[in-house]
Amino acid sequence: MSSPHKNSSIQAFFCPSPAPSRSSPTKQGPNSSIGDGFTSQEVEEALKSTPPMTWQPEVEYAECEIRDLYPGPRAVTFMGRIANIFDVAIAPKTPRSAKGCLKLCVKDDHDAITVRLWYANRFPNVRLGSLVSVWTNHISNGESGNISSSSAPLFASLFPERDRGCHLMVHENSDDGTMFKRPLSYREGRQIPNLMTLQNFIDGGYDVIGARILVIVKSIGQRKRVERKDGSSTENMNIQVQDDTAGAILGLWGTPCLSPAGTFADKDKDPANGSTKSTPLWKAGETVLLLKSPAWKIGRGTYLSLSTTTIVDVDPEMADADWLRRWASRQKIREAINPPFPEGVFDLQALMTSPLRCLYTFADLDEFSRAAPNETFQGYLSVLIMEIRLLENWKRGMLMCGECCSMPIYANSTTGTCKGCEKKVDLRLNPKILGQVIDETACVGPGKLLLSVHAWVDLLGCSPERLLELGSEELRHIAEQLLFSRLTLLFGWNREAGGRVCVMRISAG
């Protein structure tokens, strides 16, 4: 008899085991997902930027001037001013990689160096003209590549958030504006090489290698965001600059456009306090720029911009810069729509009590001012009002006017808002209310007489505040009374008033 297991397989001698479960992890509980061993809170804490701490050097750094630096590993520190800022576009590969890089040109009185400043979470608060100190462990030579520019061949690479051996400090509170203000190659009493006027630069001087132009800021435009063709965006600011020969527009793109106003583009760029700064650093009519090798585009107008080889000196220490500021001050008064009345220049009491009263004509005043332009004249003018524009300016909302950021402000109120900086500006009566004024020898056009507050009260019979409360019929009555009336002006003339006749008081007849 054959055995019952004669034809059985080997699996028959083992107990059957249950099949393994094929259930997916997603079918488990909502809190049983497999992660990397870290909670979401721990990941956020690791990636969150740490507040900036006071940097302390771990080794001794040798203090050097920029001209004494040489390529090689060496712990050195140097000071200078930022003469150019160029944004370098990069794509971060990991969450802890650098988010961006700024290529800075740092110069002192003798030489310049390129500094590549990397950042991850804390955007560097750097501006054109800022005084900085740099600590680094290595200086490289970038003449053969595009890492540095020809004007600053040596370069240093800094990543302060990841490398504790390097650091960059901006001297915001300790900068008194006197260190490293001299341009490169400047010698006292000598002309700076390749320095030319703006008009000469436009007429072909841009072909000169290392061409330099000295300009002063005329007005500062608003910062705006511009969309590129590739979908990305950047910030832009246009600044009007001029000298005594021509004018142009200086376009700042990216990080350099933060320099005039000294403010962050976004709040998240300053995570230390989460606030923005709005302290104006560049001022129209005061800030002088020395541009070396600027990029240019000449068409209907002249457009200047910063390239990688451009060097910008903000308020350089040189005699030509002081002369340009004085010229701009006179030009600003001459072109202003409503300049302030000069105080402390004329002696009204001596004019009114003097037994000798000099009666001038417009022709006499023109002759004397040309013969002695630096003298101050005081006297009387007998004039006839040929035009009064009181009602016209009231209807157009231009009864009061002022100026801010080189932009006119008109309103029928004593205060107005500047469209450039959005500040409240005190307004004065529009000088073009008084139209053409004549005497027997010549005439003065609208807006060319500069009246004091007392002179306006003498002319209109009321204060500016009371004038704004009047209606159209009352304003028409005042205008009809003044038209073709004979007035005596107690005036003064001084060159610093922009060549305008300053009227201190007005009397009838």
Tell the residue number behind the tokens 């990305």, with chain if given: 232
pLDDT tens digits for range 182-228: 998 888 878 888 999 999 999 999 999 999 999 999 988 888 888 88
Amino acid 276: pLDDT? 43
Nearest to 247 by CA among 312, 302, 310, 324: 302
DSSP 147: S
Amino acid 430: pLDDT? 93
Mean per-residue pLDDT, 493-501: 81
Amino acid 264: pLDDT? 43
CA contacts within 13 A on the Cβ side of 444: 25
For 104, the token pair is: 């800075």
DSSP 7: T
Partners of 103 in beta bridges? 86, 116
For 11, the token pair is: 């699996």
**Cβ neighbours of residue 324 under 8 Å, at least 6 residues apart?**
214, 215, 216, 243, 244, 288
Q: Do domains 195-333 and 336-508 have the same CATH topology?
A: yes
| Distance, CA of 463 to CA of 479 (rounded, Å) | 15
Sign of dihedral through CA atoms 469, 472, 477, 480? positive
**Are 127 and 155 contacting, i.e. CB atoms less than 8 angstroms apart?**
no
Mean per-residue pLDDT, 285-310: 92
DSSP 433: G
Mean per-residue pLDDT, 440-463: 91
Indicate whether 70 pLDDT > 50.
yes
Task: Identify the weakest region by mean pLDDT among 76-90, 151-165, 171-185, 259-273.
Answer: 259-273
Amino acid 14: pLDDT? 60
**Are 79 and 88 contacting, i.e. CB atoms less than 8 angstroms apart?**
no
Tell the residue number behind the tokens 């900085």, with chain if given: 132
Indicate whether 35 pLDDT > 80.
no
| Distance, CA of 405 to CA of 223 (rounded, Å) | 13
**Are 317 and 177 contacting, i.e. CB atoms less than 8 angstroms apart?**
no
Indicate whether 76 pLDDT > 90.
yes
With bands split at pLDDT 50, 70 and 90, how would you rate the model's confidence at 45? Answer: low
pLDDT tens digits for range 352-381: 888 888 899 999 998 988 888 888 889 999
Indicate whether 265 pLDDT > 50.
no
Mean per-residue pLDDT, 425-449: 91
Sequence spans of domains, the chain: 62-170, 195-333, 336-508
pLDDT tens digits for range 377-404: 899 999 999 999 999 999 999 999 998 8
With bands split at pLDDT 50, 70 and 90, how would you rate the model's confidence at 262? Answer: low
Mean per-residue pLDDT, 35-39: 70
Contacts for 402-407: CB closer than 8 Å, 24+ residues apart: 402/338, 402/426, 402/427, 402/428, 403/336, 403/337, 403/338, 405/219, 405/220, 405/284, 406/218, 406/219, 406/220, 406/240, 406/284, 406/285, 407/219
Indicate whether 271 pLDDT > 50.
no
Amino acid 239: pLDDT? 93
pLDDT averaged over every residue in the chain: 83
With bands split at pLDDT 50, 70 and 90, how would you rate the model's confidence at 277? Answer: very low
Cα 96 vs. chain centroid, distance in angstroms? Answer: 33
Fold of 336-508: OB fold (Dihydrolipoamide Acetyltransferase, E2P) (2.40.50)
**Are 130 and 82 contacting, i.e. CB atoms less than 8 angstroms apart?**
yes
CA trace torsion 166, 171, 175, 178 (10° rounding): 30
Fold of 62-170: OB fold (Dihydrolipoamide Acetyltransferase, E2P) (2.40.50)
Is the pTM for the entire model greater than 0.75?
A: no
Amino acid 268: pLDDT? 39
With bands split at pLDDT 50, 70 and 90, how would you rate the model's confidence at 106? Answer: very high
Amino acid 174: pLDDT? 83
Amino acid 377: pLDDT? 86
Name the burial class of residue 281, with classes exposed (0-12), middle (13-18) and buried (19+) by CB atoms within 10 angstroms of its CB.
middle
Nearest to 152 by CA among 120, 107, 121: 107
Indicate whether 177 pLDDT > 60.
yes
- CATH for 195-333 is 2.40.50.140
